C-alpha cells in the first residue's frame, strides 16, 4: 500500500514536504514491460508519477484512455522496450482515438501509431477534470496511415501548457498532422508555450482536407526546424490572436515560426498567416498554386497586425512566392530581408505592400544562380546577389540565421542563410528528390522505422568547432536525416565542409545519452 503524505501550509514546512513527496515518488517509481498481446492499457491506467511502461516489439491491438497525471519532474513514461524495434499501436477494437491523455506530465516516446483507418486522431490531449493539460511530451514517434488527425490539443474548455512535440514523423493521414488550439480561440481553449520542433509531416489531408500543422487563434509557442510538405490547402496555418498581448506589446509575438522547410503543398499555399502577432523568419518555403507565403485575414482585416516576415528564402513555382492581402491597411507589419525566386516569372513575385509596412532588404532574383549556390541540387547557400544587402530588422528580431549563426546587420546576406554560413552535405549530385529543398532531408527508411534522435545534432541543441579556422560549425540541421548520412545536411563556414569526426563524436555521445535515458530502473 502506498503511504499518503499531507503537506502543511507554512512556507518552510510546505517546501520540505514537497521535497519529501518528490523523493517518495522517485523511490517508488516502477518500470513494467508489456509484451505484444498483453493488457498494456490496464497497466498504464494504474501507473503513478515516475513510472515507466515499456511496450515490447510487435503490434498492440488495443487503444487506451489515460486519465491520471504524472508530476512535474516525475512524468509517467510510455515507450518502446527496444528502441530499435518500436512497438506499434494499431487498435482493432473500433476506438476513435489510439491514445487519449486526460491528465498531464506524460512522456510518450519511440512508438509507432497506426494504421488506424477510421479514427479521429492518433493522439488526443483532453485535459484533466479541472480542464488542465500540462507537461505532455511526445518524442520520436511515428504516426502513419491514420484515417483522422495525427496529434490534437484542441478540446473545448481545456488550457494546455508546456506541450512538447519533437522529433516525430507523421505521414499518410486523413486529416491534420498537428492541430493546436480551438477555432474560436481562447474562449474555447488555448495552447500556451508549446515547442513543436524537428518533426517531419507529409501527406496529410488524404481524406480531402487537412493541413500539416495548424495553430489556432490565441495559442502560442515556438515552431522550429520542422519539415512539412504535400498537404492540401496549406502545409501550415497560423492564426495569431492580438487580444492575447498587452496593448504595448509591439515586437512581442505569440508564435515564432523559425528555420522550417515548408512545401510544396499538393494545392494552395505552403504557409498561410491569417493574423498576428506572428514572427516568420529564417524559413525555406517552396510555394504551390496559391503561393509560398500567403499573409492575409481569414475574416477580420484588423487581424493583419504585428506580422513580421524576416529573412526567408522563398521559391514560387505556380502562384506568387509571396502574397500579401490587406497589408496596406494593417498595423505593425514588416517585410524585410527576404529572398524571392519566382521560377516561372524571374524577377517577379515580390510585392510592394505600401502603407506603413516596414520594407527593406528584399530581393527578387533575376536567376536561380544569382541568388543560390545550386537550386537544382537544393543548395540555397547565398550567392552574390544576396550578399551584403540585408537591413536591420524591426525590433532587432532577426538576430541569427537558419543555422543559428549571428547575423551582422546591416550588411548580412538576404534570405534564410547569413553571409558566413552555408549548407553542406546532402544528396549526391542528381539524386535529390525534386520536391525537397534545403535542408535536403529524406523521408525514406525502412517501413515503421523511427529515428532514434541520437546523431548528436537532430534536436538542434549541439554546436561545435570545425577543427580550425575562424568560424565554427554552428549546429546540425535536425531530424529526418543524419548529417553524416545520405540526405543529411549540416551548417558550416561558407566554403568549408563540416568536420566529420566531430559529427561522429557527437553521434556517439548522443547515443550514450539516449541509452542512459532509456535504461530501465532497477
Give the residue, 382 or 467, on which the prediction is more confident.
Answer: 382
Element (H, E) at 200: strand 200-202
Instruction: Tell me whether strands 132-134 and 159-161 are parallel, antiparallel or unpaired.
Output: parallel
Instruction: Tell me whether strands 372-374 and 379-382 are parallel, antiparallel or unpaired.
Output: antiparallel
Q: What is the pLDDT of residues 44-60, one digit of tens each?
A: 999 999 999 999 999 99
Output the pLDDT for position 492.
64
User: Is-contact 159 133, C-beta < 8 A?
Assistant: yes
Q: Does 323 score more than 80 pLDDT?
A: yes
**Cα–Cα distances in angstroms (integers) from residue 192 to residues 102, 135, 153, 333, 497, in the given order:** 17, 11, 11, 23, 39
Residue ranges with strand state E in 250-387: 255-258, 261-262, 269-273, 278-281, 284-286, 291-295, 307-310, 313-316, 322-324, 333-336, 339-342, 358-360, 363-364, 372-374, 379-382
DSSP string, 54-83: EEPSEEE---EEE----BTTB-EEEEESST
User: Is-contact 7 15, C-beta < 8 A?
Assistant: no
Query: What does the H/E/C string look like for 459-473?
Result: CCCCCECCCCCCCCE
Q: What is the pLDDT of residues 132-187, one digit of tens each?
A: 999 999 999 999 999 999 999 999 999 999 999 998 999 999 999 999 999 999 99
Output the pLDDT for position 110.
95
Q: Does 481 score more than 50 pLDDT?
A: no
Output the pLDDT for position 440.
33
Output the pLDDT for position 494.
60
Please tell me the number of Cα atoms within 13 Å of 387 on its side-chain side.
12
Q: Lowest mean pLDDT: which of 66-70, 184-188, 366-370, 481-485?
A: 481-485
Give the residue, 434 or 405, on which the prediction is more confident.
Answer: 405
Output the pLDDT for position 331.
82
Q: What is the mean pLDDT of residues 12-22?
A: 47
Closest CA to 207 of 183, 241, 232, 179: 232
Output the pLDDT for position 399.
94
Output the pLDDT for position 239.
96
User: Is-contact 296 278, C-beta < 8 A?
Assistant: no
Helix/strand/coil for 194? strand
Q: Does 379 score more than 80 pLDDT?
A: no
Q: Lowest mean pLDDT: which of 234-243, 407-416, 460-469?
A: 460-469
Q: Does 248 score more than 90 pLDDT?
A: no
**Burial class for 96, CB neighbours closer than 10 Å (0-12, 13-18, 19+):** middle
Q: Lowest mean pLDDT: which of 134-143, 268-277, 331-340, 345-354?
A: 345-354
Output the pLDDT for position 378.
63
Q: Which residues contact 34 (CB under 8 A, 6 or more apart)?
A: 40, 43, 53, 54, 55, 56, 60
Output the pLDDT for position 519.
34
Which residues belong to CATH 2.160.20 in the chain? 59-423
Name the percent of the chain lying above pLDDT 90.
Answer: 57
Instruction: Tell me whether strands 234-238 and 200-202 are parallel, antiparallel or unpaired.
Output: unpaired
Give the residue, 133 or 470, on which the prediction is more confident.
Answer: 133
Q: Does 275 score more than 50 pLDDT?
A: yes
Q: Which of 240-244, 250-254, 390-394 has the highest mean pLDDT?
A: 390-394
Give the residue, 461 or 155, on which the prediction is more confident.
Answer: 155
Closest CA to 238 of 322, 173, 319, 181: 181
List phi, psi (to 5°) of 17. -70, -40
Output the pLDDT for position 36.
96
Q: What is the mean pLDDT of residues 78-83?
A: 96
**387 confidence band (pLDDT: 50, 70, 90):** very high
Instruction: Tell me whether strands 333-336 and 358-360 are parallel, antiparallel or unpaired.
Output: parallel
Output the pLDDT for position 380.
80
**18 confidence band (pLDDT: 50, 70, 90):** very low
Instruction: Using the structure block, give the residue that is written with the C-alpha cell 538576404.
Output: 414
Q: What is the mean pLDDT of residues 310-331?
A: 90
Q: Does 457 score more than 90 pLDDT?
A: no
Could you give the CA distance from residue 139 to residue 417 in angstroms, rounded to a whole number?
28
Dihedral sign from CA coordinates of 216, 221, 224, 226: negative
Output the pLDDT for position 424.
59
Q: Which of 105-114, 234-243, 399-408 has the highest mean pLDDT?
A: 105-114
pTM of the complete model: 0.81
Output the pLDDT for position 461.
31
Output the pLDDT for position 253.
92
Domain covering 59-423 assigned CATH 2.60.40 in the classification: no
Give the residue, 332 or 432, on which the prediction is more confident.
Answer: 332
Average of per-residue pLDDT values in the chain: 79
**4 confidence band (pLDDT: 50, 70, 90):** very low
Could you give the CA distance from residue 190 to residue 153 in angstroms, rounded to a whole number?
9
DSSP 324: E
Instruction: Tell me whether strands 379-382 and 142-146 are parallel, antiparallel or unpaired.
Output: unpaired
Could you give the CA distance from residue 513 to residue 455 in angstroms, rounded to a whole number?
11
Output the pLDDT for position 106.
98
Amino acid at each position: 500500500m502506498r503511504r499518503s503524505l499531507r503537506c502543511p501550509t507554512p512556507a518552510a514546512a510546505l517546501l520540505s514536504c514537497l521535497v519529501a513527496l518528490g523523493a517518495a515518488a522517485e523511490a517508488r517509481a516502477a518500470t513494467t514491460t508489456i509484451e505484444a498481446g498483453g493488457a498494456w492499457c490496464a497497466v498504464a491506467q494504474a501507473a503513478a508519477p515516475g513510472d515507466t511502461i515499456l511496450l515490447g516489439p510487435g503490434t498492440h491491438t488495443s487503444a487506451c484512455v489515460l486519465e491520471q497525471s504524472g508530476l512535474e519532474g516525475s512524468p509517467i513514461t510510455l515507450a518502446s522496450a527496444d528502441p530499435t524495434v518500436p512497438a506499434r499501436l494499431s487498435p482493432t477494437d473500433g476506438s476513435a482515438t489510439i491514445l487519449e491523455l486526460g491528465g498531464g506530465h506524460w512522456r510518450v516516446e519511440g512508438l509507432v501509431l497506426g494504421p488506424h483507418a477510421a479514427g479521429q486522431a492518433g493522439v488526443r490531449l483532453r485535459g484533466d477534470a479541472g480542464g488542465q493539460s500540462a507537461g505532455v511530451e511526445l518524442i520520436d514517434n511515428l504516426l502513419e496511415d491514420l484515417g483522422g488527425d495525427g496529434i490534437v490539443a484542441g478540446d473545448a474548455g481545456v488550457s494546455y501548457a508546456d506541450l512538447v512535440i519533437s522529433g516525430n514523423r507523421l505521414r499518410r493521414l486523413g486529416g491534420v498532422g498537428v492541430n493546436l488550439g480551438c477555432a474560436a480561440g481562447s474562449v474555447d481553449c488555448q495552447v500556451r508555450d508549446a515547442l513543436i520542433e524537428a518533426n517531419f509531416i507529409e501527406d496529410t489531408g488524404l481524406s480531402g482536407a487537412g493541413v500539416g500543422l495548424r495553430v489556432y487563434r490565441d495559442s502560442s509557442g515556438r515552431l522550429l526546424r520542422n519539415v512539412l510538405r504535400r498537404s492540401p490547402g496549406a502545409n501550415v496555418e497560423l492564426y495569431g490572436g492580438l487580444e492575447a498581448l498587452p496593448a504595448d506589446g509591439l515586437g512581442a509575438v505569440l508564435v515564432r515560426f523559425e528555420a522550417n522547410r515548408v512545401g510544396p503543398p499538393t494545392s494552395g499555399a505552403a504557409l498561410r498567416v491569417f493574423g498576428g502577432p506572428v514572427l516568420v523568419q529564417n524559413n525555406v518555403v517552396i510555394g504551390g498554386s496559391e503561393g509560398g507565403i500567403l499573409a492575409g485575414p481569414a475574416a477580420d482585416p484588423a487581424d493583419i497586425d504585428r506580422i513580421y516576415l524576416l529573412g526567408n528564402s522563398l521559391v514560387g513555382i505556380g502562384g506568387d512566392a509571396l502574397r500579401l492581402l490587406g497589408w496596406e491597411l494593417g498595423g505593425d507589419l514588416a517585410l524585410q530581408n527576404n529572398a524571392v525566386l519566382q521560377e516561372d516569372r524571374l524577377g517577379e513575385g515580390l510585392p510592394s505592400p505600401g502603407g506603413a509596412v516596414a520594407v527593406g532588404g528584399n530581393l527578387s532574383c533575376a536567376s536561380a544562380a544569382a541568388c543560390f549556390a545550386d537550386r537544382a541540387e537544393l543548395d540555397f547557400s547565398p550567392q552574390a546577389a544576396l550578399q551584403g544587402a540585408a537591413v536591420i530588422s524591426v525590433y532587432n528580431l532577426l538576430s541569427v540565421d537558419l543555422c543559428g549563426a549571428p547575423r551582422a546587420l546591416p550588411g548580412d546576406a538576404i534570405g534564410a542563410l547569413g553571409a558566413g554560413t552555408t549548407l553542406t552535405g546532402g544528396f549526391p549530385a542528381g539524386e535529390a528528390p525534386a520536391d525537397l529543398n534545403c535542408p535536403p532531408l529524406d523521408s525514406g527508411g525502412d517501413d515503421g522505422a523511427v529515428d532514434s534522435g541520437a546523431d548528436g545534432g537532430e534536436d538542434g541543441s549541439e554546436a561545435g568547432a570545425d577543427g580550425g579556422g575562424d568560424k565554427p560549425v554552428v549546429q546540425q540541421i535536425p531530424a529526418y536525416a543524419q548529417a553524416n548520412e545520405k540526405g543529411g545536411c549540416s551548417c558550416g563556414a561558407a566554403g568549408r565542409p563540416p568536420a566529420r569526426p566531430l559529427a561522429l563524436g557527437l553521434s556517439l555521445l548522443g547515443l550514450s545519452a539516449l541509452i542512459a535515458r532509456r535504461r530501465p530502473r532497477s
